Amino acid sequence: MRKTLHLLILMLFTVTASAQPQGWYTVRHSWDCNGKNYSIELEISEELYDYYQNEREHLAYHYKIENAETPINFYSFILSDYDRPFIRDIADRFSERAFTDFDKVNLAMTFVQSFPYAYDDDSKGEDEYVRYPVETLVDGCGDCEDKVALLAAILHEMNIDFVLLSLPGHLALAVHCDGVKAERYIGFEGKRYYYVETTMEGWEVGQVPPDYAFGEVEVYPDLGTPTLLVREMRYESKEARVYEKADCSLQLQLHNLGPGQATGLQLTVWVYQGPTDNARVLGEAAFRLLDLPEGQRRDETLSFRSFIKENAKLYVELKGDNIEPQQFDLPLNYSKTTRR
């Protein structure tokens, strides 16, 4: 029998070390797991909640930039830097109450299942909005993507092996652990992963809802590294005398969607003329950029010198320690040369 869920969200205030008032959400939540009742009380700062609600990317799968769709790493919702200590505290509390990995999965799964399901357009007024785990806890509700992000974040901190599952119109996850009695599983990289449904109470580990029992299932790739977007790029050059290099500048805006800090960033530019396979290099410059924390944007203006010719192009390559390399090829705003 499903019991009534009691969720109370209060706003309290305290005084920080700097004597500035800061708001806190106190979330008290109770749920049933294997016939036992559990409860937890959480304090979440307004600052952390507002950061995820107002400053972070919330589109689930794609972000449109320059008429192209750039995949967004869904793990950026799961492995965000700023809520790690908070999620780790929840995972530690659960681990203290469970002895085996299977018990840990059950406790975390039933906790997430007990939050009411809510469609994005009803609860957020948007067609597609993915909550970060902190948002789901404070809002007290979420859809499949929100609940998966919360459960996956807790499982990750408990060192439980899991994969995300993309199904038609649905997102779920599957776990690899001993103790699951279900016969059906998903084979991935030589391991058996058992389906976990998060949308409502009653589903057990390994039990697949009929709507998805025989549908197409795809393991969502674990990119595990920051998604770094170049949102804007603009090139300018000044006039120069014949046979002399011109002062050039490249302006761009970087946006790190996470998870984690983008490190070891290096940008190289080439000004060239002719076909790319047999180009004449007119100028080249390399720049080391500062690391970019997750969720942050930064404008860069890079200055260099190059010869400028008609029909020249600019080739840009952006690399880093933990990002996928990106290349850009664009025509230049040609500035005429002047004679002596």
Query: Which of 172, 192, 220 finishes a domain?
Result: 220
Q: In what order do the strands lie in the sheet with 21-33?
A: 7-15, 21-33, 36-45
- Residues above pLDDT 90, as percent of the chain: 58
In a domain, residue 82? The reply is: yes
125 confidence band (pLDDT: 50, 70, 90) = confident
Total number of domains constituting the chain: 2
Shared domain check, 313 and 198: no
Shared domain check, 155 and 261: no
Model pLDDT, residue 338 = 47
**Where do we find the tokens 């109770």?**
30
Shared domain check, 161 and 71: yes
Residues 43 and 281: their CA atoms lie apart, in Å, by 58
Query: Which of 155, 185, 220 finishes a domain?
Result: 220
In a domain, residue 208? The reply is: yes
In a domain, residue 14? The reply is: no
Model pLDDT, residue 308 = 82
In a domain, residue 13? The reply is: no
Shared domain check, 202 and 64: yes
Shared domain check, 195 and 103: yes
CATH number (domain holding residue 76): 3.10.620
Shared domain check, 256 and 322: yes
Residues 20 and 329: their CA atoms lie apart, in Å, by 49
CATH number (domain holding residue 323): 2.60.40.10
Query: Given a cut of 50, is residue 14 above it in pLDDT?
Result: no
**What values do phi and psi take at 195, rounded to 5?**
-60, 140
Residues 200 and 117: their CA atoms lie apart, in Å, by 7
302 confidence band (pLDDT: 50, 70, 90) = very high
Task: Flag the least confident range among 142-151, 180-189, 243-252, 268-277.
Answer: 268-277
In a domain, residue 20? The reply is: no
- Give the C-alpha distances (Å, rounded to integers) separating 2 from 5, 89, 107, 141, 203: 9, 28, 16, 17, 12
Query: Given a cut of 80, is residue 76 above it in pLDDT?
Result: yes
Query: Which of 185, 220, 255 finishes a domain?
Result: 220
Query: Given a cut of 80, is residue 290 above it in pLDDT?
Result: yes
Model pLDDT, residue 336 = 53
Task: Flag the least confident range among 4-13, 159-168, 242-251.
Answer: 4-13
Average pLDDT (99-125) is 94
297 confidence band (pLDDT: 50, 70, 90) = very high
Residues 154 and 160: their CA atoms lie apart, in Å, by 9
- Give the C-alpha distances (Å, rounded to integers) separating 217 from 174, 185, 340: 11, 11, 68
Tell me the average pLDDT of the chain: 85
Shared domain check, 197 and 90: yes
Average pLDDT (183-187) is 91
Average pLDDT (316-333) is 89
**What values do phi and psi take at 175, rounded to 5?**
-115, 150
Query: Given a cut of 70, is residue 313 above it in pLDDT?
Result: yes
The pair of three-digit structure tokens given for residue 1, joined into one six-digit string: 């029998």
The pair of three-digit structure tokens given for residue 96, joined into one six-digit string: 């203290």
In a domain, residue 198? The reply is: yes
In a domain, residue 216? The reply is: yes
Task: Flag the least confident range among 54-68, 113-127, 232-246.
Answer: 54-68
Provide the pairing of β-strand 240-241 with 337-338: parallel
Shared domain check, 163 and 100: yes
The pLDDT tens digits for 187-218 are 999 999 999 999 999 999 999 999 888 778 88
Query: Given a cut of 70, is residue 61 above it in pLDDT?
Result: no
Shared domain check, 182 and 90: yes
Shared domain check, 275 and 193: no
Tell me the residue range of the domain where 136 lies: 57-220
Q: Collapse the DSSP code of 70 into the 3-class scheme (helix H, G, I; strand E, B; otherwise coil) and give the result.
A: strand
Query: Please, are residues 113 and 27 in contact by the beta-carbon 8 Å criterion?
Result: no
Shared domain check, 251 and 139: no
Shared domain check, 62 and 185: yes
In a domain, residue 89? The reply is: yes
